[in-house]
C-alpha cells in the first residue's frame, strides 16, 4: 500500500463523469453525495450534485432550499469556506418530478398542440403529483440532460431512498411493455379488428364503470398524447442506459454499519451487477473502523480528582467498552464489504461526524477524508 | 400513549434508519399480549426481496394477504394488485367479471401503469382489512399497525384521498375514498406515530413530518424517541469531564457527547409538541430478540400497570 497511491474515492471524483449514489434511507447518502461534490470541485472540476430530498439544513447549505428552477451555484463565500477555487465549481439542484416531466413533454412533443393537451390533462397532472416511479424517472432524465449539455465535468446523483431507486434503469422496458405491445391502442377510439373492437369495448365498460366516463375518456386522451412522445423518449432512455454502462459512470453504494442498511446494500450490489453496470465500491458511512483511541483508565485521573470526575470516569469506562466493540465490529464489516466487492471494487469507511452534519465545514471535513482515505479490505 | 391500543390503525412513520420497523414489530407484540387481534402491514416494495419487518418475526417476508405471522399476530403486505382486484370485485359486483377483467392483460397493465392507481390499490387493500369483520360484527383486525414507507411516500399515501377526490368526485372510487377518510381522519380510530432519534437533525425532520401529517388531516398520536442513551451524566459530571478531556482521545467520549445531545433533543421535542413522548433505549440484539426486548420497554408506556386497573 504505497502512500502515494491516490484514494479510491479521490480517483473516482477526479475522473468520472457521473457518479450514482445508492443505498438505504438514513445512511447519510445525501451528505456523502454533497461531500463527494466538494471533493471533486476542490480538484478543479465543474460539479453538479442532484439531490431528491435533502434535509432542510443541507438544502440551505447548498442553496436549494427555495427549490430554484435550475441548478444553483454555491455562493462565493461558501466556495471559499469549502476550499474550492476556479476552475472548480459546485452547483446543486433539487429534483422536482413535476418540473422534469413538464420539461420532457416540451422537449419531445411534436407540436404545441400535444404539449397543451398533455399539460392540461388531469391524468397527467395527477401522475406528476404522485410519487411512485416518478422520482426515479425524473432523476434519470435530469442526469441525462446535464451530462449531454456538457456544462459540467461531473454529475453526482443522489438516488431516492427506496428499493426501487434503480428502477429507472428498467423504465424503457416497462414503458415498452405497455406501449410496444400495442396494448394501449385498445384504449383508443377506433381499435381495429374483431378482437380489438371487443377488447376495446370491454375496457371502456370497465373503466367507465369504475372511474366514470369523463375520467375514462381523459385517461384515453392522456395515453394517446403520451404515446406520441414515447418513441423519442425511448431512444433517449437507450442512450442513457448505454452511457451508464460505460466507464465514465460509476455506481457507489453508501451504507451504515446497521444490519438493515447492509442488507439493502447487498440487494443493490446484486442488482447493479445483474444489470451489468459499473460498480465502483462501498462507502461504509458512520463507521468507527478507523477509530484509534485510548481506553479511559482510573490511573489517568489526578490524585485529587473530584467525586464528580471519579464517578464520570466509571461511566466513560462503561461507554468505552461499547465503543471499542463497535470499532472492532466495523473493521470486520469493512473487510467483509471489501471481499464482497472483489478485486475491481473498493470499500472505504467514513466516520460518524457530529450530527446535523450539513454545514460547509462538515462537508469540507468529509471531502478531506474522501480525498485521503486509503484503500481498504485487502 | 395508552390510547394507541384503542385505535383501529396506527401509522408508524419516521425517516429511514430510526428504527421504525423495530418499533412496529414491538408494538404488535405488546398489542397481542393485551389481547388485541393485531395485523402488521407494510407497503409491498414490488420485489421478492426479504422484508426487515418480517425478519423481526423470524420469517423472510410478509404474506400477500393476511396470514399468521406469530401466535396471535397476523401480517400482510399492502399491494396495489390485490387492492385493485378487491376493488373491482366490489364495483363490478360479479367476482367472475373482476377476475376476467384482471386476467385480461391489457386491462391489468392499464391499471398498473397509471401511478396514482398504485397508491389507490394500496389504499383499498388497507380498507379491506378495516372493513373485515369477525364474529358478532366486531372488527376482524382490531388494531392494524402499518410500517409506513419513507417520509415522501407516507405523505403521498395519507394525502391520497384528498388529492384524488379533487379529481373524481362521484362513483365507487370516491365513495371508497370517503369511507377511508372516515377512518384515517378520525383521532379515535387512527393515529400517526413518529419514530425519531434523540439527535438534532432527526428531531428537526420529525417536527417537519408532523406538520406534513397535519396538512393531510391525519391525526398524530405520539412520538417514540428511539435509541436513548442509557448512561447519563449529572451537570457536575459533565463539567468535570469537559475539564478533563482536552488533549486526550478516549473511547467513551462519543457516548458522553451523545448523552448531552440526547437531553437537548428530548427537551426540544417536549417544548415543540404536546404529543405523548415515549423514550426507548438502545437495544443491541437483532431479529425477533430485538422486537421482544423493545416490547418489554414499551409495555409500561402502553398498558396500564396491574394495580392501576
pLDDT in 10s for each residue of chain B, 309 residues: 889 999 999 999 998 778 999 999 999 999 999 999 999 999 987 777 788 899 999 999 999 999 999 989 999 999 988 888 888 777 766 656 666 666 666 556 555 555 567 778 888 999 999 999 887 888 999 999 999 987 667 777 788 888 778 777 777 888 889 999 999 999 999 999 999 999 888 898 899 999 989 888 899 999 999 999 999 999 999 999 999 999 899 999 999 999 999 999 999 999 999 999 999 998 888 889 999 999 999 998 898 776 544
CB pairs < 8 Å spanning A and B: 205
What are the chain A neighbours of B241 within 8 Å (beta carbons)?
A: 309, 312, 316
The CA distance from B205 to A26, in Å, is: 12
Whether chain A has a CB inside 8 Å of the CB on B58: the answer is no
Give the ipTM: 0.77
Whether chain B has a CB inside 8 Å of the CB on A297: the answer is no
* CA atoms within 13 A of residue A299's CA, in its CB half-sphere: 2
Whether chain B has a CB inside 8 Å of the CB on A98: the answer is no
What are the chain B neighbours of A126 within 8 Å (beta carbons)?
A: 115-116, 163-164, 167
The CA distance from A62 to A56, in Å, is: 10
Whether chain B has a CB inside 8 Å of the CB on A355: the answer is yes
In B132-252, alpha helices (H) = 151-158, 160-167, 172-184, 200-215, 235-244
Q: A94 preceded by cis ω (within 30°)?
A: no
Instruction: Say whether B17 and A57 touch across the interface (CB within 8 A).
Output: no
Whether chain B has a CB inside 8 Å of the CB on A300: the answer is yes
Q: What 3 state SS string does B152-179 have?
A: HHHHHHHCHHHHHHHHCCCCHHHHHHHH
Pairing mode, strands B73-78 and B67-70: antiparallel
pTM: 0.79
List the grid coordinates of B115: 401511478
Whether chain B has a CB inside 8 Å of the CB on A312: the answer is yes
Pairing mode, strands A72-73 and A89-94: antiparallel
* A272 compared with A114, residue with greater pLDDT: A272
**For chain A, counts of helices (H) and of strands (E):** 14, 8
Instruction: Say whether A319 and B49 touch across the interface (CB within 8 A).
Output: no
Whether chain B has a CB inside 8 Å of the CB on A133: the answer is yes
Which positions 109-128 of A are in contact with B (Cβ < 8 Å)?
122-123, 126-127
A228-233's contacts with Cβ under 8 Å and 24+ in sequence apart are A228/A109, A228/A110, A228/A114, A229/A104, A229/A105, A229/A108, A229/A109, A229/A114, A229/A118, A230/A175, A230/A179, A232/A108, A233/A104, A233/A108, A233/A175
Q: How far is CA A197 from CA A201, B103, B304, in A?
A: 6, 18, 65
Q: Which residue has the cell 420539461?
A: A103
What are the chain B neighbours of A293 within 8 Å (beta carbons)?
A: 249-251, 253
CA distance A323 to chain B (A): 6
**What is the residue-averaged pLDDT of chain A?**
79
Query: Are B83 and B122 contacting, i.e. CB atoms less than 8 angstroms apart?
Result: yes
The CA distance from B297 to A180, in Å, is: 55
CA distance B122 to chain A (A): 12
CA distance A260 to chain B (A): 7
What are the chain A neighbours of B92 within 8 Å (beta carbons)?
A: 206, 209-210
The CA distance from A283 to A9, in Å, is: 9
Q: Residue A222's closest chain B neighbor by CA? A: B114
Residue B219 is given by DSSP the state P
From the candidates A65, A210, A268, which should be mutated to test the interface with B, based on the most B CB atoms within 10 A?
Answer: A210
The CA distance from A39 to A42, in Å, is: 5
Instruction: Say whether B253 and A352 touch across the interface (CB within 8 A).
Output: no
Please count the other Cβ atoms lying within 10 Å of the Cβ belonging to residue B22: 27
Q: Residue B112's closest chain A neighbor by CA? A: A178
CB proximity list for A242: less than 8 A, separation 6 or greater = none
Nearest residue to B213 (alpha-carbon basis) of B235, B194, B232: B194
Burial A147-185 (b: 16+ CB within 10 A, else e): beeeebbbbbbbbbbbbbbbbbbbbbebbeebbeeebbb
Amino acid at each position: 500500500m504505497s502512500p502515494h497511491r491516490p484514494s479510491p474515492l479521490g480517483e473516482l471524483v477526479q475522473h468520472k463523469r457521473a457518479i450514482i449514489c445508492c443505498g438505504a434511507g438514513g445512511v447519510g447518502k445525501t451528505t456523502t453525495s454533497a461531500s463527494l461534490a466538494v471533493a471533486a470541485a476542490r480538484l478543479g472540476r465543474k460539479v453538479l450534485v442532484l439531490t431528491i430530498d435533502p434535509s432542510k439544513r443541507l438544502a440551505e447549505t447548498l442553496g436549494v432550499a427555495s427549490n430554484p428552477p435550475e441548478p444553483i451555484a454555491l455562493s462565493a463565500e461558501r466556495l471559499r469556506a469549502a476550499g474550492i477555487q476556479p476552475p472548480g465549481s459546485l452547483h446543486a439542484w433539487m429534483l422536482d418530478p413535476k418540473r422534469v416531466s413538464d420539461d420532457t413533454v416540451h422537449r419531445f412533443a411534436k407540436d404545441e398542440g400535444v404539449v397543451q393537451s398533455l399539460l392540461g390533462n388531469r391524468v397527467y397532472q395527477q401522475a406528476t403529483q404522485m410519487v411512485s416511479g416518478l422520482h426515479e424517472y425524473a432523476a434519470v432524465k435530469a442526469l441525462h440532460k446535464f451530462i449531454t449539455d456538457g456544462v459540467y465535468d461531473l454529475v453526482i446523483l443522489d438516488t431516492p431512498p427506496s428499493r426501487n431507486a434503480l428502477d429507472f434503469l428498467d423504465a424503457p422496458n416497462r414503458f415498452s411493455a405497455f406501449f410496444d405491445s400495442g396494448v394501449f391502442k385498445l384504449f383508443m377510439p377506433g381499435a381495429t379488428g374483431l378482437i380489438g373492437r371487443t377488447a376495446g369495448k370491454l375496457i371502456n365498460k370497465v373503466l367507465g364503470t369504475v372511474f366514470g366516463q369523463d375520467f375514462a375518456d381523459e385517461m384515453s386522451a392522456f395515453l394517446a398524447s403520451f404515446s406520441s412522445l414515447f418513441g423519442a423518449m425511448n431512444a433517449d432512455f437507450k442512450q442513457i442506459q448505454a452511457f451508464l454502462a460505460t466507464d465514465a459512470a460509476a455506481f457507489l453504494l453508501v451504507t451504515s454499519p446497521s444490519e438493515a442498511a447492509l442488507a439493502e446494500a447487498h440487494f443493490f450490489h446484486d442488482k447493479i451487477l445483474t444489470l451489468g453496470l459499473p460498480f465502483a465500491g462501498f462507502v461504509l458511512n458512520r463507521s468507527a473502523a478507523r477509530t484509534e483511541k485510548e481506553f479511559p483508565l482510573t490511573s489517568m485521573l489526578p490524585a485529587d480528582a473530584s467525586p464528580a470526575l471519579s464517578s464520570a470516569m466509571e461511566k466513560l469506562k462503561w461507554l468505552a467498552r461499547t465503543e471499542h466493540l463497535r470499532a472492532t465490529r466495523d473493521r470486520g464489516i469493512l473487510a467483509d464489504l471489501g471481499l464482497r466487492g472483489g478485486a475491481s471494487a473498493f470499500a472505504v469507511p467514513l466516520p460518524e461526524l457530529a450530527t446535523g452534519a450539513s454545514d460547509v465545514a462538515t462537508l469540507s471535513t468529509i471531502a478531506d477524508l474522501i480525498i485521503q482515505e486509503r484503500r481498504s479490505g485487502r | 400513549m395508552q390510547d394507541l391500543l384503542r385505535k383501529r390503525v396506527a401509522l408508524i412513520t419516521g425517516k429511514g434508519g430510526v428504527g421504525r420497523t423495530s418499533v412496529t414489530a414491538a408494538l404488535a407484540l405488546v398489542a397481542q399480549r393485551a389481547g388485541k387481534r393485531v395485523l402488521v402491514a407494510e407497503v409491498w416494495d414490488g420485489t421478492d426481496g426479504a422484508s426487515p419487518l418480517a425478519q423481526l418475526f423470524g420469517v423472510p417476508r410478509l404474506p400477500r394477504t393476511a396470514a399468521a405471522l406469530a401466535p396471535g399476530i397476523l401480517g400482510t403486505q399492502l399491494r396495489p394488485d390485490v387492492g385493485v382486484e378487491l376493488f373491482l370485485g366490489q364495483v363490478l359486483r360479479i367476482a367472475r367479471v373482476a377476475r376476467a377483467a384482471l386476467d385480461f392483460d391489457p386491462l391489468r397493465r392499464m391499471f398498473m401503469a397509471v401511478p396514482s392507481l398504485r397508491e389507490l390499490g394500496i389504499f383499498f387493500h388497507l380498507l379491506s382489512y378495516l372493513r373485515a369483520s369477525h364474529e358478532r360484527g366486531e372488527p376482524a383486525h382490531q388494531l392494524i399497525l402499518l410500517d409506513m414507507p419513507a417520509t415522501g411516500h407516507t405523505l403521498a399515501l395519507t394525502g391520497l384521498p384528498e388529492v384524488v377526490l379533487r379529481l373524481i368526485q362521484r362513483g365507487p372510487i370516491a365513495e371508497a375514498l370517503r369511507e377511508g377518510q372516515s377512518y384515517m381522519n378520525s383521532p379515535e380510530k387512527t393515529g400517526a406515530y413518529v419514530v425519531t432519534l434523540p439527535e438534532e437533525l432527526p428531531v428537526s425532520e420529525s417536527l417537519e413530518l408532523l406538520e406534513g401529517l397535519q396538512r393531510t388531516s391525519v391525526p398524530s398520536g405520539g412520538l417514540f424517541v428511539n435509541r436513548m442513551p442509557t448512561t447519563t451524566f449529572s451537570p457536575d459530571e459533565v463539567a468535570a469531564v469537559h475539564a478533563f478531556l482536552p488533549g486526550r482521545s478516549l473511547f467513551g467520549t462519543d457516548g458522553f457527547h451523545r448523552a448531552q445531545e440526547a437531553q437537548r433533543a428530548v427537551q426540544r421535542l417536549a417544548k415543540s409538541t404536546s404529543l405523548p413522548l415515549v423514550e426507548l433505549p438502545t437495544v443491541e440484539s437483532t431479529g425477533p430478540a430485538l422486537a421482544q426486548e423493545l416490547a418489554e420497554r414499551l409495555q409500561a408506556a402502553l398498558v396500564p400497570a396491574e394495580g392501576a386497573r
